[in-house]
Amino acid sequence: MERSLELIVAELAILKAGGAYVPLDPAYPAARLAYMLQEVGSPLVLTQQRLLSQVQEAMESQTSFVCAIDSNSNLWNQEEDSNLEVEILPQQLAYMIYTSGSTGKPKGVQLAHNGLSNLVHWFQHTFALTDEDRAGHLMGIGFDAAVLDIWPTITTGACLVLPDEEIRYSAALQQAWILDQKLTFCTTATAIAEQLIRLPWPLPTCLRYLHTGGDCLTSYPTSDLPFTVVNNYGPTENTVESTYTIVPPKAAGQSGYTVPSIGRQMANVEVYLLDKDLQPVPNGLAGELHLGGAGLARGYLQRAELTAERFIPHPFATLPGARLYKTGDICRYRVNGELEFLGRRDQQVKIRGFRIELGEIEHVLLQHEQVAEAVVIVREDPGFEKRLVAYLVPGASGQLQISQVRNFLRGRVTSSMVPAEFVALSALPLTPNGKVDRRSLPMPVATTEAEEGLEQEYCGPGNEVEQKIVAIWQGVLQKEKISIHENFFDLGGHSHLVTQVHLQLQSTFARPIPLINLFKYPTVSALADYLKQEPTVTEKMSTNVKRVEEMEDGKNRLKKLRQRQRLTR
């Protein structure tokens, strides 16, 4: 189901009936959706009429009952509207979230009501949430952070505000939306939060708390920011959140540390930093973070061996059956007692807030007939943002068409798991003991069309509109040679870079451009043809351009926002 009122109603109805919900994002590739549906084997699949054909295709031969809730109201509109008399026990399953898996298949994490209840009560108490608050629902519907968006808010009786999808990817649009909707709470991706705390804000503002998490927060807020920034940390396996911190202003917060901490444990969560022998490490030294307590998941669906590997017997507990979850995250305690995140123990990484198993990407790449060996790493080269890079060795035929391999991968994993760049190698570098030497993998260089295996030859811009688009793409993608027929996302583009292109295009062409059209027209040629057309009536009515222009000029924007604030008092 797409983000909608129907989705929230469906999830609430499932919980009240004593069931457990599994959110599946319709943006996932068909093969991934099919795998999840088959593994879950649910007797009931709720969807929307416009997604019905997509669900039926993914269902294949399964016999689950499929219901489009926006067109089958006759199935329940004669039912009583009173609460069901259903006893729900704390240990009962509440929901399941799929995360990336190292075997090449996503794994389902099973979460119970006691962990969800603990999360909800902690959030409501810690941040004084009331029925007068207004909170945004920006996080991905298949991402566990959506749980934090939804349940503390609606169980308090507060208002949950759903945005248009394009707002989720732009800090400028998010700020305008937060102010227009008078939100008091909002959780957003780390990359967007970094931008939001650098923008000028009106004084006063309704926003009280800006929560973020899922990736490493690298900035401290300024002292004049009119709301509190909360940095959250927690794996899906411990019910969304495990630790948190109120991020202090820059001057007071750094104290010798360049990035904010991930704080201390939330209520009823146990935190241990242990060495390889499961012994506590001294303060200041690095250890693997282990979690226990009320939020711990049951384990992974149909993955008994993996569950036993990650959820180990609690070495310090007195209660029988107590467990700890091995996060794979390496941390240390700072002098103030807060945790500092240092990195990962294994191949699991986070890119733009998405938790990704590099092994899953490698596993899928090796299924392509042209690929003999594959290694995927995260690169953070100077002048480039953190990105995935795939290194491939061709099979016996010696042929390796990168474009075919990329499209093969794109059809089987989420967009966040498709590497920004692919590099063909005759052989992978090895260490003296025969392991892949990841540190010796070369920095990617611009590939030619022949190396990419593209059918079309390079075609440069042929008119002024195409020239302007190419210039913007070159700056954002940091590539010198861009053909007008190349796909933005094949060149390493992603949703956050799209927002940069979006802002520059609107400024350059002085016209409203719906963000969704940058996904609809992903080549310079197609985008130029669209921009040559007159704006539609809807586009002319858009206020996005005005907001973006205001945000590009700090002084002018702040003045206008203050005027608007006075008018709405």
Lowest mean pLDDT among 208-212, 234-238, 272-276, 514-518: 514-518
CATH superfamily entry for domain 464-555? ACP-like (1.10.1200.10)
Q: Are strands 134-136 and 159-161 parallel, antiparallel or unpaired?
A: parallel
Q: What is the pLDDT of residue 306?
A: 95
Phi-psi region of 299 (alpha: psi -120 to 50; beta: other; left: phi over 0): left
Q: What is the pLDDT of residue 451?
A: 45
Confidence of residue 104 (pLDDT cuts 50, 70, 90): confident
- pLDDT for residue 553 is more than 50: no
pLDDT in tens, 294-303: 999 999 999 9
Confidence of residue 469 (pLDDT cuts 50, 70, 90): very high
Give, in words, the CATH class of 1-88: alpha beta
Domains 357-452 and 464-555 equal at CATH topology level: no
Confidence of residue 445 (pLDDT cuts 50, 70, 90): confident
Phi-psi region of 150 (alpha: psi -120 to 50; beta: other; left: phi over 0): alpha
- pLDDT for residue 419 is more than 80: yes
Residue ranges of domains in the chain? 1-88, 89-333, 357-452, 464-555
pLDDT in tens, 471-494: 999 999 888 889 888 888 878 787
- pLDDT for residue 195 is more than 90: no
Separation CA 357–CA 290 (nearest Å): 19
Helix (H) or strand (E) holding 568: none
Q: What is the pLDDT of residue 457?
A: 64
Q: What is the pLDDT of residue 433?
A: 59
Q: What is the pLDDT of residue 486?
A: 86
- pLDDT for residue 550 is more than 60: no
Nearest to 423 by CA among 397, 398, 452: 452
Return the structure tokens found at 415.
């967009």
* Residue 423 near residue 405 (C-beta atoms within 8 A): no
Return the structure tokens found at 351.
């890119």
- pLDDT for residue 196 is more than 60: yes
* Residue 150 near residue 8 (C-beta atoms within 8 A): yes
Q: What is the pLDDT of residue 64?
A: 85
CATH number of 357-452: 3.30.300.30
Q: What is the average per-residue pLDDT within 308-321?
A: 94
Q: pTM of the full predicted structure?
A: 0.74
Q: What is the pLDDT of residue 431?
A: 66
Determine whether 139 is exposed, middle or buried from the number of CB atoms within 10 Å of its CB (0-12, 13-18, 19+). buried
Q: What is the average per-residue pLDDT within 250-278?
A: 85
Nearest to 360 by CA among 297, 7, 351: 351
- pLDDT for residue 107 is more than 80: yes
Q: What is the pLDDT of residue 95?
A: 98
Highest mean pLDDT among 230-234, 418-422, 511-515: 230-234
Q: What is the pLDDT of residue 14?
A: 96
Q: What is the average per-residue pLDDT within 248-269?
A: 81
Nearest 5°: the CA angle 97, 99, 104 is 135
Highest mean pLDDT among 58-67, 149-158, 194-203, 524-533: 149-158
Q: What is the pLDDT of residue 354?
A: 77
Q: What is the average per-residue pLDDT within 525-534?
A: 89
Q: What is the pLDDT of residue 16?
A: 94
What are the distances in angstroms from CA 23 to CA 150, 254, 413, 496?
A: 13, 39, 17, 24
Whose structure tokens read 């939001």?
Answer: 196
Q: What is the average per-residue pLDDT within 429-433?
A: 70
Confidence of residue 219 (pLDDT cuts 50, 70, 90): confident
Q: What is the pLDDT of residue 251?
A: 65
The matching CATH number, chosen from 3.40.50.12780, 2.60.40.10, 3.10.20.30, 1.10.1060.10, for 89-333 is 3.40.50.12780
Return the DSSP state at 78: T
Percent with pLDDT over 70 in the chain: 89
Q: How would DSSP label each residue in 419-453? A: -SEEEE-SS--B-TTSSB-GGGSPPP-PPPHHHHT
Highest mean pLDDT among 236-240, 344-348, 551-555: 236-240
Q: What is the average per-residue pLDDT within 71-91?
A: 86
- pLDDT for residue 554 is more than 70: no
Q: What is the mean pLDDT of the chain?
A: 86
Q: What is the pLDDT of residue 538?
A: 54
